[in-house]
Amino acid sequence: MKILKLHIENFGKLTDFSCQFNEGLNQFVEENGWGKSTLATFINSMFYGLEASGRKKDYEAERSKYSPWQGGIYGGNLTFETKENVYTIYRTFGKTPEQDTFQLYNETLKQISQDFSENIGEELFGVGKETFSISSFFGQAVLGFGLTDEAVSNLAGLEKFKNDAESVDKALNLIEKRRKELVANPPKKTELIQISKSLNNLSVTISLKESKAKDLKETLSSLQKEKERLELKNKIDENERKNTINKINEQNFLQQELNQKNLQLNNILLAKNKKNDKKNSGKFSLLTISLCFAMAILFVVLGVTAIVNYIMAYVFAGIFAVAGFFVFFIKKSNISNKEDYDSAEENRLKKDIENLSAKLQEYQELNIKILDKPNDLLRDTENKYYALLAKYNELLGDLDQMKEETFLLEENKKNIEEIISQNEKRINLLKLTANYLNKARENVSQRFVNPVNEKFQMFLSKFLLKDKIDIDSKFVASIITNIGAKNIQYLSKGSQDLVAICQRFSMIENIFKKEKPFVVLDDSFVNVDDSKINSIEELIKLLTKTYQILYFTCSESRKFKK
């Protein structure tokens, strides 16, 4: 294809600018600041549009950089010819891609065309903007480039898989990004270190506490035996003490009973002593009896003599006679019963006193001694035992808690180690995947090594460089020496530019399968010395047989002869 003409309404510093183009070589020799790079960018933007402002600074963003300085409509049109038709592209640009407009007009049929969309560059040339920029669009003094996956696909003859190739590149970037994230931020690595430290500390503490618990258990065992010994001894002593107390109680009881018997005997003896005192009172009783009988006789006499009414006299006589007999018989009965009772009771008490005295004598001969209550040694031993038992139980509780904590930490540690292991597996898997994809891409790239090198060597031969230079599967040019491959950075800047130019043209020869593109050279030979300009001119003349070349330069010395 070839560009026929263009018109710029406003684009950067260019306004109301029109230009016609010829087949083959089109040279623009203008001073710096004229707008050569702006014109080259306009041509590119007609086919590929403008990038969004994105995150770049305004002066770096393509859309902002070429916004009209003087205002007005931002854009223009470009007419080009293909094998079948002539088309005119109309584009205007806004602050964002959404504000852009696009129209394609078929000049041959004189109608608006739907043959291509606003992605006309990709549809026409079969490559995206980035690949076009690293191949056919030679930026000002920028010849170095990186090979895109799309370019690799086209070079290898795998254009239909270019989306896959782009996906591989994106996948590799994502894989590498993810791998770096996993390496830089291993999951819970710090937590694992902390858990390990905690487990070590717990292990030491548990070991110390178990040793202390063992010592306490041995001490408790000794105290337990001593406590049991003292308890047995005190149990025996307590039984003896109880028996002794019982004997003492029995002795006291016998003594009390003996005292009571002696008291009763003393009372009887005292009563005997008092009998004699009572004999005089007995004479009084006889006088009373006699008096009663005398009175009875008196009243009988008075009744017989009729001095007193005989009935009354006999009544009183009867009363006194009965009273006399009553006193007589009561007196006689009391004295007899009392004497008999006192004599028997005295004998019984004396016998009891004799028996009680004998028993008390037996207890006195036993020499009974009351034992003390359980001694203080047992109490001290028990206090020590139970205090130590409390500490031992508390220590066992601490050990159980620490062992439970250890178990939980070990489980957590296992989980974290599993997570870390899985993370390492993911990292290794990402490495293997990346290696596999790189290997696959290298295998694809190797398909274009020989064809590209053939073109490269043909173009490079025009410059008669002394060094042997080859292009590898990554499209990297290297100097081949007797001691191995060396980077072309060892060449002069001018020679490096010549190598890059040959790389570019060998790429163009092999990438574009649909439509041969125009080639933009924006002052691309500023580093090449005058001795090589003639060789470059020969190469350009050779290429103009196939390609339309737009050459921009600011120096008449670098202008090519037609």
Element (H, E) at 22: none
Contact 360, 258 (CB under 8 A): yes
CA distance 145 to 506: 14
Report yes or no on 252 lying in a domain. Answer: yes
Query: 518-533: per-residue pLDDT in tens?
Result: 998 887 777 777 667 7
Summarize the confidence of residues 495-499 as an average pLDDT.
78
Q: Is residue 158 domain-shared with residue 216, that is, in the same domain?
A: no
Assigned domain for 398 exists: no
pLDDT at residue 7 above 80?
yes
Segment 473-486 mean pLDDT: 78
- With a cut of 50, say whether residue 156 has pLDDT above it: no
Residues 196, 145, single domain; the answer is no
Number of other CB atoms surrounding residue 402 within 10 Å? 17
Q: What is the pLDDT of residues 321-348, one digit of tens each?
A: 777 667 666 655 555 555 555 677 778 8
- Structural tokens at position 495: 């020679």
Q: What letter does residue 516 receive in the DSSP assignment? A: P
The most confident of the ranges 53-67, 286-300, 401-415 is: 401-415
**133 lies in the same domain as 86:** yes
Q: Which of 195-204, 460-469, 508-517 has the lowest mean pLDDT?
A: 460-469
pLDDT at residue 269 is higher than 50: yes
Determine, yes or no, domain membership for 306: yes
Residues above pLDDT 90, as percent of the chain: 14
Which of the listed ranges 113-117, 205-209, 283-287, 359-363 does the model predict with the highest average pLDDT?
113-117
Give the closest residue to 540 by CA, choosing from 557, 525, 556.
525
**Residue 453 included in any domain:** no
Rounded CA gap, 559 and 534, in Å?
A: 10
Residues 123, 213, single domain; the answer is no
Is 372 a member of any domain? no
Same domain, 243 and 360: yes
Q: What is the largest CA-CA distance in the chain?
A: 220
What sections of 374-465 are H helices per DSSP?
A: 376-445, 449-460
Q: pLDDT tens-digit profile of 54-91?
A: 555 544 478 888 888 777 789 999 999 998 899 999 99
Question: Which residues, at least 6 apart from 245, have a Cβ–Cβ distance to it below 8 Å?
Answer: 370
How many domains does the chain contain in total? 2
Q: What average pLDDT does the segment 503-515 reach?
A: 79
Which CATH number characterizes residue 545's domain? 3.40.50.300
Q: Kindly state whether residues 147 and 208 are assigned to the same domain.
A: no
**Structural domain of residue 249, as residue ranges?**
190-366
Average pLDDT over residues 143-152: 53
Give the tokens for residue 122.
Answer: 């990709």
Highest mean pLDDT: which range of 85-99, 276-290, 520-534: 85-99
Same domain, 107 and 222: no
> What are the tens digits of pLDDT across the range 227-265?
788 777 777 666 666 776 777 777 778 778 878 878 877
Residues contacting residue 203 through CB under 8 Å, at least 6 positions apart: 406
Q: Are residues 195 and 322 in the same domain?
A: yes
What pLDDT score was predicted for residue 52? 72
One domain, residues 230 and 100? no
In a domain, 94, yes or no: yes
Query: DSSP letter at 556?
Result: G
Boundary of a domain, candidates 342, 366, 390: 366
State residue 58's pLDDT score: 45
- Say if 237 falls within a structural domain: yes
Do 555 and 29 touch, CB atoms closer than 8 A? yes
Whole-number pLDDT of residue 105: 96
* Average pLDDT value over all residues in the chain: 78
Residue 175 lies in a domain: no
Q: Please measure the distance between the N-terminal and C-terminal CA atoms of the chain and give it in whole angstroms.
A: 21
Summarize the confidence of residues 161-175 as an average pLDDT: 66
- My answer on whether 165 and 226 are in the same domain is no
Last residue of a domain, one of 366, 387, 421: 366
Distance CA 478, CA 489 (A): 9
208 plus 311 within the same structural domain? yes
Dist CA 278 CA 287 (whole Å): 15
Determine the Cα angle at 92 with ends 88 and 93, to 5°: 140
For β-strands 477-481 and 484-487, DSSP reports them as: antiparallel
| Contact present, 390 and 216 (Cβ < 8 Å) | no
Residues 216 and 248 in one domain: yes
* Long-range interactions of 181-184: CB distance < 8 A, separation 24+: 182/423, 182/426, 182/427, 182/430, 183/427
Domain boundary among 335, 366, 397: 366
Asked if 121 and 82 touch (Cβ cutoff 8 Å), the reply is no
